Amino acid sequence: MAVATVAALLAALGGALWLAARRFVGPSVKRLHRGGDSGLMHGKTVLITGANSGLGRATAAELLRLGARVIMGCRDRTRAEEAAVQLRREICQAGGPELGPDSSGAGELVVKELDLASLRSVRSFCQEEEPRLDVLINNAGIFQCPYMKTEDGFEMQFGVNHLGHFLLTNLLLGLLKSSAPSRIVVVTSKLYKYGDINFEDLNSEQNYNKRFCYSRSKLANILFTRELARRLEGTNVTVNVLHPGMVRTNLGRHIHIPLLVKPLFNLVTWAFFKTPLEGAQTSIYLASSPEVEGVSGKYFGDCKEEELLPKAMDESVAGKLWDVSEVMVGILK
């Protein structure tokens, strides 16, 4: 009995040590900019959707540090203002030789209301005058929520992850073109592999499967990127799409984990998931690196180009999705 207890304790300790080792020497992505690059984004305006949390927040922090004017497009003004206050405080505390003693080398943060579940909100956001836009980062997302509809009656995950961003991007294209060279960065997920674009039920009224709908919306992000890249050829506006890997953020808020299992789940995510800053590296890379100047229509992970499944490269599905989306958001000319 005593031997069994000792063995169990040793196994638990070994397991914990292994998890901790994996966290610290594991597959985390190196941070791209560690100083020395300050000013890289100076004079540039970047719009990040969903910038108050997770990957969007980490992307905003880094681009701010690199000197950008960062517009945080967020659905909840209070949450966004709180995040902005914290980000400014963090950058002042971190300081660093490249930012100067008062962090004067850092950029500027602007909070603006943008609810991607409301076409009215997207339109009024785009009506606010901005002199230029150098980078648009379509980052906001909702993951495996119960069946819900947007203000305009679209299934929530398709509505926010794809349609809201579709309208936003289209309404900002004129500004992006007049600010060229400019970039669009789209955040998708590897889970796109389990989705399909079922044109006969895009609002999932016949059948709702939350996993399928998330994957479908993320496949739509990739098809949208590729079709847009084709349409933007010769304009000096590029568009690329990335998956961040598995990242410890608030994205899983709709997943209910039994209270007893939660500590184990937390341990596993702590050990195996990236931190938001690690997960944001490919977004930051595509938004700021001179290495990807002129590159368009590509899919990235860990700051490298990756291959897509054929279903994400189907030009006829991408074209049809574009046409259908135009009708759905009401921008058909």
Ligand X SMILES: NC(=O)C1=CN([C@@H]2O[C@H](COP(=O)(O)OP(=O)(O)OC[C@H]3O[C@@H](n4cnc5c(N)ncnc54)[C@H](OP(=O)(O)O)[C@@H]3O)[C@@H](O)[C@H]2O)C=CC1
Ligand Y SMILES: CC1=C(/C=C/C(C)=C/C=C/C(C)=C/C=O)C(C)(C)CCC1
Asked whether the bond before 181 is cis by omega within 30 degrees of 0, the reply is yes
Which residue in the shown chain puts its C-beta closest to ligand Y? 252
Q: Indicate if 194 belongs to the active site.
A: no
- Sign, Cα dihedral of 159, 162, 166, 168: positive
Picked from ligand X, ligand Y, none, the partner binding residue 103 (CB below 5 to 8 A depending on kind) is none
Give the residue with the Cβ less far from ligand X, 125 or 322: 125
Picked from ligand X, ligand Y, none, the partner binding residue 265 (CB below 5 to 8 A depending on kind) is ligand Y
Q: Which stretch binds ligand Y (CB under 6 A): 36-44, 161-169, 264-272, 309-317?
A: 264-272
Contact status, residue 60 vs residue 54, Cβ threshold 8 Å:
no
Give the residue with the Cβ less far from ligand Y, 140 or 251: 251
Pairing mode, strands 304-305 and 299-301: antiparallel
Secondary structure letter of residue 199 according to DSSP: G
Picked from ligand X, ligand Y, none, the partner binding residue 139 (CB below 5 to 8 A depending on kind) is ligand X
Contacts with ligand Y: how many residues (CB under 6 A)?
Answer: 14
Contact status, residue 222 vs residue 312, Cβ threshold 8 Å:
yes
Q: Which stretch binds ligand Y (CB under 6 A): 97-105, 113-121, 241-249, 317-325?
A: 241-249
Give the residues lining the site for ligand X (CB under 6 A).
49-50, 52-56, 74-76, 79, 114-117, 139-143, 160, 187, 189, 243-244, 246-247, 249-251
Residue in the block written with tokens 């050990």: 271
Contact status, residue 176 vs residue 287, Cβ threshold 8 Å:
no
Q: Give the residue among 37, 29, 35, 113 at the shortest CA–CA distance from 287.
A: 37
Secondary structure letter of residue 158 according to DSSP: I
**CA 44 to mean position of chain CA atoms:** 19
Q: For ligand Y, which residue of 170, 269, 275, 289 counts as binding (CB under 6 A)?
A: 269
Is residue 248 a contact residue for ligand Y (CB under 6 A)? Answer: yes
Give the residue with the Cβ less far from ligand X, 111 or 232: 111
Q: For ligand Y, which residue of 74, 80, 184, 251 counts as binding (CB under 6 A)?
A: 251
Task: Identify the helix (H) or strand (E) that includes residue 45.
Answer: strand 45-49
Contact residues for 132 (Cβ-Cβ < 8 A; gap 6+): 45, 175, 178, 179
What crossing angle do the helices spanning 165-178 and 210-231 adopt, rounded to 10°?
20
CB of 222 to ligand Y, least distance (A): 13
Active-site hit among 147, 192, 208, 214: 214
Tokens standing for residue 276 = 């938001």
Is residue 252 a contact residue for ligand Y (CB under 6 A)? Answer: yes
Give the residue with the Cβ less far from ligand X, 214 or 322: 214
Picked from ligand X, ligand Y, none, the partner binding residue 160 (CB below 5 to 8 A depending on kind) is ligand X
Classify 15 as helix, strand or coil.
helix
Tokens standing for residue 126 = 């785009």
Q: For ligand Y, which residue of 143, 154, 285, 322 counts as binding (CB under 6 A)?
A: 143
Q: Give the residue among 34, 21, 76 at the shortest CA–CA distance from 52.
A: 76
Is residue 202 a contact residue for ligand Y (CB under 6 A)? Answer: no
Give the residue with the Cβ less far from ligand Y, 188 or 325: 188
Q: For ligand Y, which residue of 68, 156, 191, 321 counts as binding (CB under 6 A)?
A: 191
Q: Which residues are catalytic?
A: 214
State the residues that interact with ligand Y by CB under 6 A. Answer: 143, 189, 191, 246, 248-249, 251-253, 255, 257, 265-266, 269
